[in-house]
Amino acid sequence: MSATPTGDPKLVERAKARAHQWLAAVDPSIQGFTFSVSHHLTYSEAPNLKLIEEAFRNHFKLILDSSKATTDYPNATVFDPKTDTQFLPVIKGNFAKLKKTLADTSKFTFVTAAFALDEAKGLFAAYVMGAGLGNPIRFTPDFNTCGPNCQAAIVLHESVHVFDSRSNDGPVHISEFDATYNSQTTDNAIHNPSAYSAFAQQVSLHRDTRFGQGPGKRGI
């Protein structure tokens, strides 16, 4: 564990590298999903189709047809990935902005606990002042106490706050561990930082891991 008085730059770089690994699976997954749905492929014909379909449902609350609706996701929206112009462009655009943010060293700064308590009025592992304003992510000593996967999830989550002005709104900014996460509307989910982190994890690791700062997750 780092003993630095601020967020540890080495740990942030490690987290960014892991986040890049997760993000590398996103574009091929979305492209493959769109192709499979457009050509009416079955799960046996497209082995990853079910996984990606579930990731869209779990995190962006998007389903392929009304028969996919469940009581667990009461506000999911039916969409066609080949023709959709409302949700998928936002999702793809935000993932592109995520990659750009991770590559911009000016968006990563390191602060003491005292600084964070004064500026943010709380000690968070990382935070952004003012969603969508392009302000940097500030990493505090609390970040150093999280495990590698948790840190990578935090980096992705906070990066969305850098560029998405809706990402901190009450109905949008819901933790992936919150009881109301599954019932979030699609319109809000496509701006939720937690959804981008969790989606990238699921399509990369082939399971719904949710490595953010949830119960028991700090050491992972």
State residue 209's pLDDT score. Answer: 96
Q: What is the mean pLDDT of the chain?
A: 96
Residue 220 lies in a domain: no
Over residues 150-161, the pLDDT tens digits come to 999 999 999 999
CB 37 within 8 A of CB 82: yes
Other CB atoms within a 10 A radius of the CB of residue 31 amount to: 12
State residue 74's pLDDT score. Answer: 95
CA-to-CA separations, 190 to 89, 120, 152, in angstroms, rounded: 10, 25, 20
State residue 219's pLDDT score. Answer: 84
- Record the tokens describing residue 69, joined without a space: 């609706």
Q: Which helix (H) or strand (E) holds 114?
A: helix 113-120
State residue 203's pLDDT score. Answer: 98
Mean pLDDT of 31-55: 97
Task: Tell me the pLDDT band of 217, cut-offs 50, 70 and 90.
Answer: confident
Share of the chain above pLDDT 70, in %: 99
Residue 212 lies in a domain: no
Residue type, 200: A
Residue 219 lies in a domain: no
pLDDT of residue 2 exceeding 70, the answer is: no
Residue 215 lies in a domain: no
**R_g of the chain, CA atoms, integer Å:** 17
Residue 216 lies in a domain: no
Q: Where are the beta strands (DSSP E) in 134-195?
A: 137-139
Residue 218 lies in a domain: no
Over residues 166-203, the pLDDT tens digits come to 999 999 999 999 999 999 999 999 999 999 999 999 99
State residue 1's pLDDT score. Answer: 45
pLDDT of residue 50 exceeding 80, the answer is: yes
pLDDT of residue 129 exceeding 60, the answer is: yes
Q: Look at the pTM and tell me if it is higher than 0.75.
A: yes
Could you tell me which residues are beta bridge partners of residue 62? 77
> Residue 134: which domain range?
9-205
As a dihedral over the C-alpha atoms of residue 90, residue 30, residue 217, residue 183, rounded to 10 degrees, the angle is 60
Mean pLDDT of 24-29: 98
Q: Which helix (H) or strand (E) holds 77?
A: strand 77-78
Query: For the chain, what is the domain count?
Result: 1
Which residue has tokens 């902005």? 97
Q: What is the CATH number of the domain that holds 155?
A: 3.40.390
CB 13 within 8 A of CB 196: no
Over residues 76-126, the pLDDT tens digits come to 999 999 999 999 999 999 999 999 999 999 999 999 999 999 999 998 999
State residue 3's pLDDT score. Answer: 66
